[in-house]
Amino acid sequence: MNEARRFSWPTAERLARERFGIRRLRPGQRRLLEAVFGRRDALGILPTGAGKSLCYQLPALFLPKPVVVVSPLISLMQDQHEKLADAAISAARLNSTLTESDERAAADDIRAGEPEIVFVTPERLENPEYVQVLAEGGVSLFVVDEAHCVSQWGHDFRPAYLALRDAILALGRPPVLALTATATPRVVDDIVAQLAIAGAEIVNTGIERPNLTFEVLPAVSDDAKRVALLALLNRSDGTAIVYVATVREAEALTSWLGSQGIAAERYHGRLRAREREEIQRRFMADEYRVVVATNAFGLGIDKPDVRLVAHYHVPDSIEAYYQEAGRAGRDGAPARVVLLYRVEDRNIQRYFAGGRYPRPEHSTAIWRALKATEHDAPTVTELATIADVPERKTRVVVAQLAAAGVVERRRGRLRLVRDFASEAELARFVAEYEDRRRADRARLDEMIRYAETTECRVRVIARYFAEPASEDCGRCDNCRARAAGRFEHRPEPAAPAPPPRLPFERGTVVSHQAFGRGEVVAADPDVVTVVFAGVGEKRVDPAYVSRIEPNAGAPD
C-alpha cells in the first residue's frame, strides 16, 4: 500500500483529475468526501451515474489503512477492479471465484495492508476467518455499496447484508459509508438501523435524470407486447436492456428476438457464473445489441450508451423500476425508459411476493430448533437443517432474532441470550413478516398506479421518493400527450384509497367466549390473530372477540 498522503482539498482535486478524469466534484460527492475525511458515518443517495464510487476511491489514496468495499455482485467487483488498475490503485478481492492459491495470496496481501481497496461479498463477511484476515490488515473505511440490499423494506434485499453490523464491530468499528442510487425514507431509516450508524450524515442529491424519457405502452396480450418491443428496438439507436420477470421469459424472448434478426442474449441467475461474466463482457464490447435479463442483471452495469431500457413485465415496486431504469443514458445523452404494461402481469409479482419472506411456521420451527440446540451453538447452516427451513429464510429469521436481542453470533455460531418474555411476545415475533407482506402489496399497488396514471410520470416518481414534486417534466408520454391535446387537462392525482380500517390494533386485549382473554398480535379486516392465555395462538373472526378496556375489572 502507498504511504498515506496528507489530505488537502487542492491535492484531492488534483488526484481526482489525474487518476479519475474528474474535472470538478459534484455537490453530493463533496459532502460525502467531507464526511469520510472527517471520519464520520455517512449515507449517500446519488442517482445512477452520479459518481458514487469516487466517494471511496479518492479517500483510498489518503487513508492509512485499506478501504473495505462490500459489493453484492462478483461482476461488479471485476469491473471496479479493472478500473482501479487503470487509475494505479492497488486492489484485492475476496469472493467465490478465486482459486485456493489466489485466495491465499490475496489474504496474505490483505494481512500485510498492501491493497488500498479490498472488495468483498457480504457472504464472505459471514465467515469469521475472512473477517479476521481483514482485521489483521486494518480498515480505515467500511463501505456498503448498493446499500438498499441491507433493508428488508428495499427492493433487492440480501440476507447476508444483515450480518454486516457484526462485521463492522469485529473490524474495530471504522467509519461507515453506505451508498445507493434509490431509497425511500423508510429504506433510509432501515439502512441506518441495520448498520447501527444512527448519527450518519444523509446526503440525498435527488433522483431526477433529465436525459431520461419515461413511457408506458399498454398491451392487451403477449403477442402485442412482442410486436411493440420489436418496434422499439428497431427505432432505437445504441444498445438496449429488456427486463423480464422470469427465467423462462428471458429464454423465450431472446429466442424470438433472434428469429426477428435482433442480436440478443439472455442473462439470468440460473446461468453459470462464468457464462454470465462472458455475456456481460460481450455486451459491454457491443457484440450484443440487446440483453434480455431478469433483475440479476443491473447493479454496476456501467455501459454509457444504453439508449433504451424496456420492462417487458411490470416490476414489483417503483424503486426497483427506477433502479433498473438508471442503466439507461449514463453518458448524459437522451435515452428512453419504457414499460410494456399488461394488467395481468401484476399476478407474476404477487406470486413472487408470496414466497419472499419466512412464514410464521418457519419462524416457529427455527425458534424451537434453537431452543433444542442451545448448548451446541449451531451455525446458520446447521440450524436450517435441524429446523427443515431453507437456509436463506433461516438467515433472515436469525437476523430478526439478533435484532430483538434474543440471539447473538459468536465466530459464526448462534447462542441464545434470552428467552421470549411471554407467548404473546413470541407470537408478535412470528407475525412480524405479515407487516412486510402488506407493505409489498402496497408497493406493487403504487407501481400499478404509475403504469395507469395520466399525470406526469416524473412527478409520480418524485412523490414516491418523498422529493419535492417539480413542474411537469414535459418529456414523458403523458406530458407529450397533454401538450398535443390528447388530455383535456391534467387531473389531480387521486389520493390512494385509505387502507381498510382494522378491527383491532396489535396489543389490544380482547375476550373470546370459548378461548377467554387474549392479546391481539396481528389483524386484517377479515381475521384477527390472538394469543389466548393457556390456549395459544388462534385466528378468529373479529366479530367473535370483544375489546377489554384498560383497567377493566381492576380494583380501585
Classify 176 as helix, strand or coil.
strand
Indicate if 212-351 has the same CATH topology as 9-204: yes
- Bridge partners (DSSP) listed for residue 180: 45
Return d(Cα 36, Cα 30) in angstroms, integer: 10
**Where do runs of H (alpha helix) occur along 196-237?**
222-235
Q: How far is CA 517 from the centre of its chain?
A: 41
- Could you report the per-residue pLDDT of 418-467, keeping only the tens digit for each? 888 776 777 777 777 677 777 788 888 899 999 999 999 999 998 888 88
Roughly what angle, to the nearest 10 degrees, separates helices 100-111 and 128-137? 40
Specify the CATH architecture of the domain 360-419.
Orthogonal Bundle (1.10)
Query: With left for phi above 0 and alpha for psi between -120 and 50, is residue 39 left, alpha or beta?
Result: left
Q: Name the band, by pLDDT with cuts 50, 70 and 90, for residue 503.
A: low
- Could you report the per-residue pLDDT of 158-180, keeping only the tens digit for each? 778 888 998 999 999 999 999 99
Which residue bears the cell 469485529?
170
Would you state the pLDDT for residue 533? 66
Return d(Cα 165, Cα 158) in angstroms, integer: 14
Would you state the pLDDT for residue 491? 46
- Could you report the per-residue pLDDT of 215-259, keeping only the tens digit for each? 999 999 999 999 999 999 999 988 999 999 999 999 999 999 999
Specify the CATH architecture of the domain 212-351.
3-Layer(aba) Sandwich (3.40)
The arithmetic mean of pLDDT across residues 83-103, rounded, is 81
- Reference 407, options 391, 422, 396; nearest CA is 396
- Bridge partners (DSSP) listed for residue 290: 240, 264
- Could you report the per-residue pLDDT of 509-532, keeping only the tens digit for each? 888 766 677 888 777 666 777 877
Classify 30 as helix, strand or coil.
helix
Q: Over pLDDT 70: what percentage of the chain?
A: 88
Which of the 8 DSSP states describes residue 420?
Answer: -
Return d(Cα 159, Cα 20) in angstroms, integer: 33
- Bridge partners (DSSP) listed for residue 171: none
Q: Which CATH class is domain 9-204?
A: alpha beta
Average pLDDT, the chain: 84
First to last CA, the chain: 74
Return d(Cα 227, Cα 231) in angstroms, integer: 6
Instruction: Outline where DSSP puts E strands in 195-334.
Output: 201-204, 212-218, 239-243, 264-267, 290-293, 306-311
Q: Please tell me which residue, 353 or 90, carries the higher pLDDT value.
A: 90
Domain boundaries, the chain: 9-204, 212-351, 360-419
